[in-house]
Amino acid sequence: MKVPALQRLRAKLKSATPVYGLWITLESPSICEMAVALGLDWVTIDAEHGHLDWKEIVEHVRAAVRSDTVVFVRLAENSPALIKRALDVGADGVIIPWVETALQLEAAVAAATYPPRGIRGIGAERATCWGQCFIEHTGEADQNVMVIPIIETVRAVKNIAELAAVKGVDLYFFGPADLSSTAGFPGQWEGPGVGDMIVRCKDTLRAAGKHCGVITTDNANLALRREQGFAALGLGLDAGLLLRSLHGALASQGRDRQIRASFTLENNAASLAAEKPLICAPPEMKPDRPELMNARGSGQVLDVAPGIQIEFLVGAHNQARNLTTGLVTFAPGAVLPCHRHTFGESITLLRGRALVDVEGRCYELGPLDNVTVPKGLAHRVLNLSRSGPALFHIALASADPSRELVTTFFPKRTMPDVTATVPGGERVTYVKKATRYSPGAAAAFVDFCNSDLVPGFEMSGGYGLFQQGGRLPAHLHDFDESICIVEGSATCLVEGRRYTLSDLSTALQPRGRVHYFINETPVPMAMLWFYAGPLPERIVVDEKCATEPGVAASA
């Protein structure tokens, strides 16, 4: 047990100085050595999930010996045997999962302390220098050991006041994913309302003089959690940080992709161009509506607020299903009042400078930046310019859009300009900094929204940039698609029919229509695409299905 390191950690917490750490799930002790070399305040060795065995755990503990980095071990359960073993091999503290009551937490504290206060047995292991330091260790262990519960169930939230009163505990961690699951949102990191639940619990613990910790999902979330008052900030899991770095490096080369739970290439962005084309479209995908090419100025126009006008280019008026897209013009200084929808919305600034406020979280946007807002979240939009208009592209996950005005006041907070998803909330994409991938020759795409990026989101969509000759393979979808040309000129081929689009013209490709886009000009072409489906799935078919009449409908 590294008593000086524990004392320094507690002193930082007491002085409201954040302490930063790393969650370790991989077996190499070099990971712990790196954390120590970088001066992290703490590391947690995860023995609850994953594959680490006790030999690997003790190697991580050894990697931090004689350092200022405190080592915690997260155990598989609240077990006196596991608590004793982790402390005996030299851990400075233990993290206990699924703690829901004060009695459970008191039992964990007792298991981590020696008699007469507790029930921990004395062993001739690393903690006592193999039996050489019985008196020294037992004299200092009880007052320094850290027992840290994880608040990760709705029941624990209900009992947070009594958990806060347990003596011998000064730091509490939160588990957003399991808390979301017990709240009825399995698979979400922070389901609806869970973020507020965590903050309320944190406030209760802080009022009791206790400190709170949480793992953060990215740099934007790290800044948010620090601002919210969390003291022990996990920079991430070792595997997650490695994947973040790999995604960035692959994206710089147009090779990034999403991992699927099946470990297959299905729905994988980087592998789309390598899909084996079908000879023809599946007969069950035969379309029942024609494609439509909609020039700017040809859509339905509606005044939605003073100085704000929307032109619907795709929607119920031209038989689109589960999808509405259009262009919204803001006069100088115009403000779209706070409102919400019963469906998701994706907002992309095309021209000007604007601010999107989602329940007080304020994002300043430049051209082609995007904010995706899940259903039920209140938001408003402002044109920041007092002298020039702003132009937006919007996509709504409904063919019959409606809104509800909201008068609730939300405290304002300026958010960092980092591409990220707020847990349980919106996603912002700053297109110049975002991850890109290649779905076709000389084409680079940025995903704005899908159910992987925004859990539960009904649409998928993003930005595509095509250099000269850039194109997609012939393909079709099991849902409707809207494609708006925001830069240059595009050629679209649909089952033998050829179209040229530019200047914000928008194509509606109904379910089942075989098509592809190509840039046949020497200057770049760019588009915004949105699917009435939660993932960017497509069926690639033979080229002639898009270029020859009648082939697409072959049985």
As annotated, the active-site residues are 49
Residue 377: phi and psi, rounded to 5, are: -90, 130
Q: Phi/psi at 431 (nearest 5 deg)?
A: -65, -30
User: For residue 167, what are the CA distances in angstroms to 103, 120, 157, 172?
Assistant: 11, 17, 18, 12
Determine contact, residues 90/1, Cβ cutoff 8 Å: yes
CA angle 437, 438, 443 (to 5 degrees): 120
Strand partners, 213: 173, 232
Between 80-88 and 102-111, two packed helices, what is the crossing angle to 10 degrees? 40
The first and second tokens of residue 455, run together, are 């859990």
CA distance 241 to 235: 8
> Among residues 48, 145, 55, 51, which one has the least CA distance to residue 98?
48
CB atoms within 10 A of CB 11: 10
Element (H, E) at 338: strand 335-340
* Single-letter residue type at 555: A
User: Cα dihedral angle (302, 305, 306, 307), rounded to 10 degrees?
Assistant: -60
| Region for residue 453 given its phi and psi (left: phi exceeds 0; alpha: psi -120 to 50; beta: otherwise) | alpha
Amino acid at 103: L
3-state secondary structure 7-54: HHHHHHHHCCCCEEEEEECCCCHHHHHHHHHCCCCEEEEECCCCCCCH
Within its chain, how far is the Cα of 129 from the centroid?
Answer: 44
Residue 314 token pair: 């795709």
Closest CA to 236 of 24, 51, 9: 24
Sheet with 300-305, strands from edge to edge, namely 300-305, 308-314, 324-330, 390-396, 345-351, 370-373, 427-429, 420-421
* Positions of E strands within 472-514: 475-476, 481-487, 489-494, 497-502, 506-509
Q: What one-letter code names the amino acid at 271?
A: S
